[in-house]
Amino acid sequence: MKPSASNALPNDLVWDLLVVGGGATGLGVAVQAALEGRRVALVEARDFASGTSSRSTKLLHGGVRYLAQGRLRLVREALRERTTVLGLAPHLAQPLSFVVPGANWLSWAWTGLGLKAYQWLSGRMSLGATVALSRQALARCLPGLPGMVAGAVAGMRYWDGQFEDARLALALAKTARQAGASVHNHMRVTALAPSAQGWQVDLRDERSGMVQTVQARCVVNATGVWVDALRRMVLQPWAGSQTVPALVKPSQGVHLVVARERLPIGEAVLIPRTADGRVLFAVPWLGATVIGTTDTPRSDAPLEPLPLQEELDFLFRETRQSLGVSLTRADVRSVWVGLRPLVGHTDGQATSQMSREHLIQREAPGLFTVTGGKWTTYRSMAEDVMRSIRAHNDLPPAALGPGKTAQHTLVGAPLAGAPLLPISAAPGLHMWGSEAAQVQALPGAGRDLGMGLSEAMVRFAARHEWALTVEDMLARRWRALFLDARLAAKMAPAVAALLQEETGLDPQLPAFLDLCQRYTLAD
């Protein structure tokens, strides 16, 4: 079943809203607008969640450290949204317990006080009790980390959320499509200018090279850490000799993935304060363990940033000192780097102290930029965007009223009461939720390509999930690149052949093999 020869948007109508950017924020806006009855199109230059939105620490959280910074409104909003997202896609977002060791009695007491306040703020949205752990209880919780237990006087356990970020983004894309939105990946904006209809947008289909022009009453720039590039494309001609000031300061976060047996944990571990002022997480995820993260300011925003040696040294050192596990480069199966869009300028402060709150800015009539924020609050950000558009009268009232996205479960969500496998388990058919039977009905359901990926899963991703390239498939439809880059490279030729058969397009195998090298640490 090949996709249509053209990936073009229908251009015989004026779109109410064109969303540029297929990360969490843009996809959330598309779902919100489509459920309001708007004519919505979304375009993404690469693939859905290919930037920041697939490179998170995999946590849906209120932000314990934001509580220490006094950002109660941000924490309260995130806690509310955490509960909402857990209900929208329970196969992809679930509660997770965290263990926090105390190096001394003072730090243990202070941490416990903060975590109790965190639970109190959760109120009826609490996911579990925050409890004190003796050293003996700590040892029972984390039998695989005797070094960490030996260095602690006691511990605490609290609850937050965990999710599979790339597949949650894909569920949002499917939900937007189901609600009537026209959703496109590998579609780049090349020009954006005012027109009699609102905005005229030139789009280039990156797979065919075809260029088309569409009209939209409103455009939302939701391109994450790259919002300033699109803003300058539009605003610089009006600014003359003045440079359009940047809204975003990128910050780089590095994560290491090791085999679960190398860092054996059944619960997440949080180290409240590291040398750079951030927390350190060790999180069980898809059968492996993720260690992160750093917070390093950047002056640029590359599509595939590389870890700095000092960042790697920091993670290895903190893992040894805080968790009692000495890792080598050979232990690392994948290393990935994400860029966070922090709002504003550092003014000499560390990026770890900068705001994670979002910003919505009306650049011109019908042109809005939304940036900042975090995955947990994607839905409330989308509501704020549509509320701002209505407040400026750039679109009329919604035909269907406010889209009730808090109650609209995402495509793939299983029925209430259906058995669920934890996000910490190895990847499998359960990641498709209620769509699993459709996947199994396709040819090749019994043929394993590695890491539990079947031929049928690849066919389903090509036919129903916009997977065109090997990277689309093995980085985000199936997290092989993020779990084991060397194994992903071995799986890639078979996946490429299937995608070629399904789509008739070049699956870009050499580019993916090069990418695998970038996710691998040389011994």
Q: What is the DSSP string of 88-107?
A: H-TTTEEEEEEEEEESSHHH
Work out the percent of the chain whose per-residue pLDDT is above 90: 83
Look up the pTM and report it.
Answer: 0.95
Alpha-carbon distance of 154 to 112, in angstroms, equals 10
Q: Are 287 and 260 in contact (CB under 8 A)?
A: yes
Peptide bond into 293 cis (omega under 30): yes
Domain 14-52+167-246+355-391 class in CATH: alpha beta
Q: How far apart are CA 199 and CA 217, in angstroms?
A: 6
pLDDT of the residue at 349: 42
Decide: helix, strand or coil at residue 108.
Answer: helix
One-letter amino acid at 435 equals: E
Contact present, 153 and 104 (Cβ < 8 Å): yes
pLDDT band for position 352 (50/70/90)? very low
The confidence band for 417, taking pLDDT boundaries of 50, 70 and 90, is confident
- Assign 243 a pLDDT band (cuts: 50, 70, 90): confident
pLDDT surpasses 60 at 346: no
Structure confidence at residue 138 as a pLDDT band (50, 70, 90): very high
Q: Which two tokens stand for residue 174?
A: 């499917």
pLDDT score at 86: 97
Q: How far apart are CA 289 and CA 268, in angstroms?
A: 9
The number of beta carbons lying within 10 Å of the beta carbon of residue 113 is 11
**Contact status, residue 314 vs residue 275, Cβ threshold 8 Å:** yes
Residues of the chain with CATH 3.30.9.10: 89-163+248-346
Confidence at 347, pLDDT banded by 50, 70, 90 = very low
d(CA 207, CA 349): 42
Nearest-angstrom CA–CA distance, 284 and 426: 10
Phi and psi dihedrals of 19, rounded to 5?
A: -100, 125
Q: Note the CATH number of domain 89-163+248-346.
A: 3.30.9.10
CB 423 within 8 A of CB 162: yes
Alpha-carbon gap, residue 352 to 340, rounded angstroms: 11
Q: What are phi and psi of 71, to 5 degrees?
A: -90, 65
| Residue 20 reports pLDDT greater than 70 | yes
**Mean pLDDT, rounded, of the chain:** 92
Confidence at residue 9, expressed as pLDDT on a 0 to 100 scale: 86
Give me the residue label for tokens 């990418």: 515
Q: For the chain, how many helices (H) and strands (E)?
A: 16, 20
Which residues have C-beta within 8 Å of that of residue 380, sequence separation ≥ 6? 77, 80, 81
368: which strand partners? Answer: 220, 362
| Residue 6 confidence (pLDDT) | 59
CA distance 439 to 428: 11
pLDDT of 402 reads 79
Q: What is the CA radius of gyration of the chain?
A: 23
Tally of residues, the chain? 523
User: Bridge partners of 253?
Assistant: 338
In order, the DSSP letters of 246-277 are P-EEEEEEEEEEEETTTS--SSEEEES--TTS
pLDDT band with cut points at 50, 70 and 90 for residue 10: confident
Residue 464: per-residue pLDDT: 98
SS3 444: coil
pLDDT score, position 242? 82
- Contact by Cβ (8 Å): 178, 411: yes
Looking at residues 27-49, what average pLDDT do you find?
97
461 — pLDDT class (breaks 50, 70, 90): very high
The residue with greater pLDDT, 308 or 357, is: 308
The set of residues, in sequence order, having a beta carbon less than 8 Å from that of 328 and lying 6+ positions away, is 523
CATH of domain 429-518: 1.10.8
CA distance 55 to 39: 30
Model confidence at 418, pLDDT cuts 50, 70, 90, reads: confident
What integer pLDDT is reported at residue 356 of this predicted model?
A: 55
Least trusted range by pLDDT, from 128-137, 265-274, 451-460, 502-511: 265-274
CA atoms of 337 and 270, how far apart (whole Å): 20
From residue 95, give the alpha-carbon distance in Å to each of 137, 173, 347: 21, 23, 37
Q: How much is the pLDDT for 348?
A: 42
Confidence of residue 247 (pLDDT cuts 50, 70, 90): very high
Q: According to the model, what pLDDT value does residue 3 have? A: 42
Overall average pLDDT of the 109-123 stretch? 92
Q: Where in the chain is the domain with CATH 1.10.8?
A: 429-518
Contact (Cβ atoms closer than 8 angstroms) between residue 492 and residue 470: yes
User: Residue 419: which residues within 8 A CB-CB, separation 6 or more?
Assistant: none
**CA 324/CA 263 separation, integer angstroms:** 10
Range(s) for CATH 3.50.50.60 in the chain? 14-52+167-246+355-391
**Strands 211-221, 367-372: parallel, antiparallel or unpaired by DSSP?**
parallel
Mean pLDDT (whole number) for 370-395: 95
